[in-house]
Amino acid sequence: MENQNGFLGRRGFLQQASVATAGLLAGSLSDVLGTTMGKRKVAMVGTGHRGTGMWGSPVVKEFGDIIDFVGLCDINRGRAETAKKMLGVNCPVYTDFDKMMQDTKPDLLIVTTVDATHDKFIIRGMELGADIITEKPMTTDEGKCQAILDAEKRTGKKVTVTFNYRYSPHRQKIYELLRAGAIGKVTSVDFHWYLDTRHGADYFRRWHRLRENSGSLWVHKASHHFDLLNWWLESEPESVYAQASLEHYGKNGQQRGTNCRTCSHKTSCKFYWDMTKDNRLMSLYAQNEQYDGYLRDGCVFKEDINIFDKMAATIHYANGVNVSYSLTTYSPYEGYRIAFNGTGGRLEAWIKESGKMVIEHYDELMLSKNFGDVEYIKIPQAEGHGGGDALLRDKIFRNPHTPDTYRQTAGSRDGAMAILVGIGARKSVETGLPVKISALTDLKPKAVKS
Ligand SMILES: NC(=O)c1ccc[n+]([C@@H]2O[C@H](COP(=O)([O-])OP(=O)(O)OC[C@H]3O[C@@H](n4cnc5c(N)ncnc54)[C@H](O)[C@@H]3O)[C@@H](O)[C@H]2O)c1
pLDDT digits (tens, 9 = 90+) for 193-246: 999 999 999 999 999 999 999 999 999 999 999 999 999 999 999 999 999 999
Distance from the alpha carbon of residue 208 to the mean position of ligand 1, in angstroms:
10
Q: Reduce the secondary structure of 99-122 to three states and give it as a string.
A: HHHHHHCCCEEEECCCHHHHHHHH
Dist. CA 258 → ligand 1 center (Å): 21
316 lines ligand 1 (CB under 6 A): no
**Is residue 192 classed exposed, middle or buried when 0-12, 13-18 and 19+ CB atoms within 10 A define those classes?**
middle
pLDDT at 353 over 90: no
**pLDDT at res. 92:** 98
Angle between helices 222-233 and 169-179 (to 10 degrees): 30
CA distances from 378 to 257, 283, 351, 384, 392 (A): 45, 39, 12, 19, 22
What residues does CATH 3.40.50.720 cover in the chain? 10-164
Which residues face 322 on adjacent strands? 188, 316
Q: Mean pLDDT in the chain?
A: 91
Q: Is the CB of 261 under 6 A from ligand 1?
A: no
Instruction: Give the model's confidence band at 375: pLDDT under 50 very low, under 70 low, under 90 confident, else very high.
Output: very high
Is 90 exceeded by the pLDDT of residue 386? no
Would you give the DSSP letter of residue 61?
A: H
Query: Best mutation site among 10, 14, 49 for ligand 1, i.e. most ligand atoms within 8 A of its Cβ?
Result: 49
H or E segment to which residue 192 belongs: strand 186-196
Ligand 1 pocket check for 135: Cβ under 6 Å: yes
| Nearest CA-CA partner of 339 in 324, 318, 353, 354 | 324
Q: Is the CB of 94 inside a 6 Å radius of any atom of ligand 1? A: no
In whole angstroms, what is the distance from residue 339 CA to residue 200 CA? 23
What is the Å distance from ligand 1's center to 52 Cα?
10
What pLDDT, on a 0 to 100 scale, did the predictor assign at position 352?
79
Q: How far is CA 285 from CA 79, 87, 358, in A?
A: 7, 16, 33
Check pocket membership of 45 for ligand 1, CB cut-off 6 A: yes
Taking the whole predicted model, whether its pTM rises above 0.85 is answered as: yes
pLDDT bin (cut points 50, 70, 90) of residue 356 is low
Smallest CA-to-CA distance from 284 within 21, 442, 9, 47 is with 47
The rounded Å distance from CA 7 to ligand 1 centre is 12
Per-residue pLDDT of 4-62, as tens digits, reads 333 433 333 333 433 333 334 544 443 444 345 689 999 999 999 999 999 999 999 99
CA–centroid distance, 48 to ligand 1, in Å, is 6
Ligand 1 in reach of 385 Cβ (< 6 A): yes
Q: Residue 21 CB: number of other CB atoms within 10 A?
A: 9
| Residue % of the chain over a pLDDT of 90 | 85
Fold of 10-164: Rossmann fold (3.40.50)
Q: What is the pLDDT of residue 380?
A: 86
pLDDT value of position 275: 98
Distance 114 CA to ligand 1 centre (A): 4
Cβ 115 under 6 angstroms from ligand 1? yes
Mutational pocket test of ligand 1: of 79, 99, 135, 396, the residue with most ligand atoms within 8 Å of the beta carbon: 135
The predicted-structure confidence for 228-238, as pLDDT tens digits, reads as follows 999 999 999 99
Phi then psi for 414, rounded to 5 degrees?
Answer: -65, -45
How many other β-carbons are positioned within 10 Å of the β-carbon of residue 423? 29
Task: Give Cβ neighbours of residue 245 (< 8 Å, ≥ 6 apart).
Answer: 308, 309, 310
Mutation pick for ligand 1 pocket among 8, 50, 123 (CB with most ligand atoms within 8 Å): 50
- Angle formed by the axes of helices 412-431 and 142-155, to 10°? 160
Q: Ligand 1 within 6 A of 117 CB?
A: yes
| Confidence grade of residue 449 (pLDDT, cut at 50, 70, 90) | low
Q: How far is the CA of 46 from the centre of ligand 1 (A)?
A: 6
Residue identifier of the C-alpha nearest atom 19 of ligand 1: 48
Contacting residues for 439 by C-beta, under 8 A, at least 6 apart:
none
pLDDT digits (tens, 9 = 90+) for 277-310: 999 999 999 999 999 999 999 999 999 999 999 9
pLDDT at site 158: 98
Shortest-distance atom of ligand 1 to CA 76: 37
What pLDDT was estimated at residue 15?
Answer: 39
Q: Give the residue among 177, 192, 229 at the shortest CA–CA distance from 337.
A: 192
How, if at all, do strands 186-196 and 334-342 pair?
Answer: antiparallel
CA of 358 to the centre of ligand 1 (A): 32
Nearest to 112 by CA among 200, 53, 70: 53
Question: In degrees rounded to 5, what are phi and psi of residue 267?
Answer: -85, -25
Q: How far is the CA of 210 from the centre of ligand 1 (A)?
A: 14
Residue among 52, 87, 112, 119 to mutate when testing ligand 1 (max atoms within 8 A of CB)? 112
Q: Range(s) for CATH 3.30.360.10 in the chain?
A: 165-249+305-439
Which fold, 165-249+305-439?
Dihydrodipicolinate Reductase; domain 2 (3.30.360)
Ligand 1 centre to CA of 161 (Å) is 14
Tell me: pLDDT of 409 over 50: yes
Strand order across the beta sheet in which 237-245 lies: 374-380, 362-369, 345-354, 334-342, 186-196, 322-331, 310-317, 237-245, 435-436
Q: Please, are residues 63 and 41 in contact by the beta-carbon 8 Å criterion?
A: no
Confidence bin at 359 (pLDDT 50/70/90): low
pLDDT at 330 over 90: yes
State pLDDT tens for residues 91-118: 999 999 999 999 999 999 999 999 999 9
Distance CA(132)–CA(120), nearest Å, equals 12
**pLDDT tens digits, 147-165:** 999 999 999 999 999 999 9
